[in-house]
Structure 1
Amino acid sequence: MDGLLNFNPTQALWLAVVLPALAAVAISLLGRRPNLREAVTLVTAVLVLLQVVGLLPLVLQGHRPTLDLFEVLPGLNMKFVLEPLGMVFALVASSLWVVSSIYSIGYMRGNREARQTRFYVCFALAIGSALGIAFAGNFFTLFVFYEILTLITFPLVTHHGTRKAKAGGRVYLGVLLFSSIVLLLPALIWTWALAGSTDFVVGGLLRDKLEGPAVLGMLALCAFGVGKAALMPMHRWLPAAMVAPTPVSALLHAVAVVKAGVFTVVKLVVYLFGFDLLRDSSAAAALVAAAAFTLVAASVVAIGADNLKRRLAYSTISQLAYVVLAVALIAPFSVIGAVLHLVAHAFGKITLFFAAGAIYTAAHKTEVSQLDGIGRQMPMTMTAFAIGALSMIGLPPAMGLVSKWFILQGAMASEQWLAVAALVISTLLGAAYLLPIVYRAFFRAPVDGQGEEAPWPMLIAMGLSAGATVLLFLMPDLALQLAKLVVG
């Protein structure tokens, strides 16, 4: 206990967000010295992870580290409060920053990418923004960092500077800014007008302040206003952003951006609406239907996509819908499953994108139809891919089985048969678009002779993320403990 007393939680909250910004400055100054530039990236990532891990025992013991920043208007202030759900997101983002940094060194050098300094600067700022979202103590703080994350990742999406990259960037920025400004911002203002505050409250800030159709209206503004959650039709930005380098795809799909989206949806459902308010209205059923449609429709599109990154992008849209569907069920098991799937998807999907980038770097292949025998040429890469695929489908020995089992249990316990059907169908479709890739890789003859593995930093990163996917299946206790604290 003495160690906890000596640990300054307020300082840790502040440092976790500020250190990436300071690192971005140092990285920009070291642009001509790549070894030092990347050393700063790695050291800062580790330091940030240590700050977050240091906060974990306090949160598990029921403490809620708080940092009041400043007030803009009465009832509208910037504030950090770390609770169990934010702890989950912070652990995911900070740990995967370390892994992504190792991978990025191999990828960016192996492909001789231009503008590497800008890449590392924006990546660091994106992680700082994601941690600001994780620590947000109110809707206003969350919205501010959510918008910063959108803007700071735009240069990453357009990294290559080609016409195609710029077009993808316009779609990315257009959809995310439209959804947040036209839908999410009015929800924020409406919340402030109703409650005189935007603070997140256990049981829901709005539980006694909304009723009838207003609940559905507010929930629609929030669910579709959080464009990063990629509920259809707010999903187009995600496949459009696949023009970016693979480390950026990993950031978008696993580390920060889409995780910020589904985290925000879960956070708003739990602490803005509250379970009781949604359980007593028809709004949650409408969100279940929207998520179920997205879950199945995105899986169908993924089956027909030959480009590997495009197939994985639509897989992400489907997997995000699992989280939204789970929290919309308002059942204890399903909400636990939603939190666990934040973790499962993060580690499983980053493994898949790492593998896709390794294939491109070592074999210069981008299409599923080109992958015959690639597992014999790149066995480590495709073994990691297979583990990530098993997690996305929900098969052992991968974490995705644990999270999907809880979601299915919640759907069955609440007799939400539409959700049950969507879960079963999407699982079968997931197997249909992922397992053939594994089959091609290992059970068909190579078409172009011998190949080689990707650079060693990429293999280390893949090994870490794939290993974590299996380890989380074997030892899910910490994630499960945090998830149960979210339910209360």
Structure 2
Amino acid sequence: MNWKILIPILLPLTSFIPALLILMIREEQKTLRTTVNMIGAIAKLVLVGVIAYGVYQGLEFEARFPLVGDLDFILRVDGVSLLFAALSAALWLLTTIYAIGYLEGSAYRKRFFCFFSLCVTATMGISLAGNLITLLIFYEMLTLVTYPLVVHRGTEKALRAGRVYLVYTLSGGTLFLMGTAWIHVLAGPVEFVRGGSLGPYVLDHQTQLTAIFILMMIGFGVKCALVPLHGWLPKAMVAPAPVSALLHAVAVVKAGAFGIVRLIYNVFGTDTAEALGVLQPLAYLASFTILYGSLRALFQVDIKKRLAYSTISQLSYIVLGLSIWGPIGTVGALVHLVHQGMMKITLFFCAGNLAEELDIHRVDQLNGVGRRMPWTMIAFSVAALGMIGVPPGAGFISKWYLGAGAASARDYGFIAVLCASSLLNAAYFLPMIHAAWFRPPSDHMQQVLENHKTGRPEISPLLLWPTVVTAIMSLSAGVFAASPISPLGAARMIVERVYFP
């Protein structure tokens, strides 16, 4: 088999095979399970590097297998799939290290890491999917393998959240399936191509195409947490911190955002979507979600729920950039796909550290915590300031391009939405930073500080270093944004060579 065919197959297998091996490893064989996890994560990152080098050299990677009739199972690498795959591979490695430390001594680690690896397998399949049917297969797989992670703790609250999660995501997946079948009847098998493939059908099937777009947008919008399809996301915060990090930065929500990228640019095409009149309403819905999520975050006292509503808001930055319909806004959307992942995973790692070490779950418990856990709170501060859009953080780069895209399209109202959202971001993040660094510690925290004088480390290195590394990544993405190998450089190359050549 040609190596250019083999590599797209190997990329999902580097997590699928470890998942199967973990099932065969006994619960108490911690070292062996950790070794399998790390080999798979490192191998995936190496393969992504090989693919990136090959794409830079002009090589094409594709594996195609017949399914049934005229439907093919296609794994293909293009610019946007490589961007998503690189994000997933890098953050999966760090989340694996974090999860090993977080779950040390807990029960059901075998089950957790099996489904954890299957989750990343599905995410990698989504990134490499070359047509709608392949995307649908992995999209539904992601829903099913993530459920055991959401309900991992096994409490009634976790099980209830899992039921809500399944109702939302399976309903969205059903609508995605209906849209895919409808397109197949109308236009035959649809592969992801530059400019989309449905343009020839606009004149004769405008109403049908509009209905299909709405169906599939709802299907993707559930995982992307567009209002009013967002209700599952805050409830899913009962999951362990590594799962929350995976949900918000790499897997589920990014699968929805990535699906919207494919739908607008590679299935319908921007010209077709604009002719159908669906982009402007989508931009309004994204704007409403941005403001709604920010407002709801402002009034959450639970740290993870505040971060969850922040995710709802931040994800819609991507949708807004895609809906503005122009090269600058699209760059902002694609680069925020990466930047949001790096910043949000840092914040959830920090929340997990606070909960694990000090049993801190609420915003009003943060007073003075920076003195006890300085590195964790430095990482939190870096990511939070980036989310607000303070330069030179990664979030500033995203918002600059989104605002410039809105200005170039003369949609100045969307600039006001971005500004209002940044102010709301500041309103719910800055008090947390201020409390951690500048407010006097509570009596409980003062006692903790006294006990800490014995020289005990801040927290396990397995929990601390992934947190610090992702914070450095998010800051570096902003500081070195001008580099051609930065996320911004990759996004600009995709837009200039593929979407708006």
Query: Which range, TM-score by smaller chain?
Result: over 0.9
- 1:413 equivalent to 2:408? Answer yes
Q: Quote the offset at 1:292 in angstroms.
A: 0.5
Task: Give the letter aligned to residue 62 of structure 2.
Answer: T
Q: Quote the offset at 1:273 in angstroms.
A: 1.1
Within the candidate set 479, 487, 490, 1:482 is matched to: 490
Local SS of the residue matching 2:75: strand
Within the candidate set 150, 153, 158, 1:157 is matched to: 150
User: Could you state the TM-score of these two structures normalised by the residue count of structure 1?
Assistant: 0.95
State the alpha-carbon separation in 2 of the partners of residues 223 and 394 from structure 1: 28
Alignment of 1:134-149 (within 5 A): 134-149=127-142
State the alpha-carbon separation in 1 of the partners of residues 489 and 471 from structure 2: 22
Task: Give the letter aligned to residue 454 of structure 1.
Answer: I
Q: Quote the offset at 1:484 in angstroms.
A: 2.7
Aligned to 1:70: 66
State the alpha-carbon separation in 1 of the partners of residues 200 and 490 from structure 2: 27
State the alpha-carbon separation in 1 of the partners of residues 211 and 241 from structure 2: 37
Aligned to 1:195: 187
Task: Give the letter aligned to residue 12 of structure 1.
Answer: I
Task: Give the letter aligned to residue 211 of structure 2.
Answer: G
- 1:46 equivalent to 2:42? Answer yes
Within the candidate set 224, 229, 254, 2:224 is matched to: 229
- 1:79 equivalent to 2:84? Answer no
Aligned to 1:60: 56
State the alpha-carbon separation in 2 of the partners of residues 369 and 467 from structure 1: 27
- 1:36 equivalent to 2:28? Answer no
State the alpha-carbon separation in 2 of the partners of residues 27 and 302 from structure 1: 38
Contact 2:333 2:402 in 1 (8 A): yes
Q: Quote the offset at 1:7 in angstroms.
A: 9.3
State the alpha-carbon separation in 1 of the partners of residues 472 and 53 from structure 2: 24
- 1:343 equivalent to 2:351? Answer no
State the alpha-carbon separation in 1 of the partners of residues 251 and 278 from structure 2: 28
Contact 1:60 1:482 in 2 (8 A): no
Q: Quote the offset at 1:229 in angstroms.
A: 0.7
State the alpha-carbon separation in 2 of the partners of residues 430 and 213 from structure 1: 39
Contact 1:60 1:84 in 2 (8 A): no
State the alpha-carbon separation in 2 of the partners of residues 73 and 302 from structure 1: 48
Larger mean Cα displacement after TM superposition, 345-354 or 396-405: 396-405
Larger mean Cα displacement after TM superposition, 199-208 or 244-253: 199-208
Per-residue deviation, residues 441-469 of structure 1 (Å, max 9, x unmatched): 00101112115622111111011101111
Alignment of 1:66-215 (within 5 A): 66-74=62-70, 76-109=71-104, 112-181=105-174, 183-211=175-203, 212-215=206-209
Contact 2:297 2:310 in 1 (8 A): yes
Share of identical aligned residues, percent? 38
State the alpha-carbon separation in 1 of the partners of residues 285 and 225 from structure 2: 11
Q: Quote the offset at 1:239 in angstroms.
A: 0.7
Local SS of the residue matching 1:231: coil
- 1:358 equivalent to 2:353? Answer yes
State the alpha-carbon separation in 1 of the partners of residues 60 and 195 from structure 2: 16
Task: Give the letter aligned to residue 459 of structure 2.
Answer: A
What's the Cα RMSD here?
A: 1.5
Per-residue deviation, residues 138-157 of structure 1 (Å, max 9, x unmatched): 01100110000110010000
Task: Give the letter aligned to residue 42 of structure 1.
Answer: M
Structure 1 residues not aligned, in runs of 5+: 1-5
Alignment of 1:322-401 (within 5 A): 322-401=317-396
Aligned to 1:216: 210
State the alpha-carbon separation in 1 of the partners of residues 160 and 373 from structure 2: 33
Task: Give the letter aligned to residue 462 of structure 1.
Answer: T
Task: Give the letter aligned to residue 148 of structure 1.
Answer: M
Local SS of the residue matching 1:389: helix
Task: Give the letter aligned to residue 6 of structure 2.
Answer: Q
Q: Quote the offset at 1:62 in angstroms.
A: 4.2
Q: Alpha carbons of 1:222 and 1:62: their partners in 2 closer, same or farther (altered >3 Å)? A: farther
Contact 2:7 2:61 in 1 (8 A): no
Structure 2 residues not aligned, in runs of 5+: none
Per-residue deviation, residues 405-429 of structure 1 (Å, max 9, x unmatched): 1111001110112322211111111
Q: Quote the offset at 1:69 in angstroms.
A: 2.4
Q: Quote the offset at 1:390 in angstroms.
A: 1.5
Task: Give the letter aligned to residue 467 of structure 1.
Answer: I
State the alpha-carbon separation in 2 of the partners of residues 364 and 65 from structure 1: 47
State the alpha-carbon separation in 1 of the partners of residues 158 and 298 from structure 2: 24
State the alpha-carbon separation in 1 of the partners of residues 459 and 262 from structure 2: 38
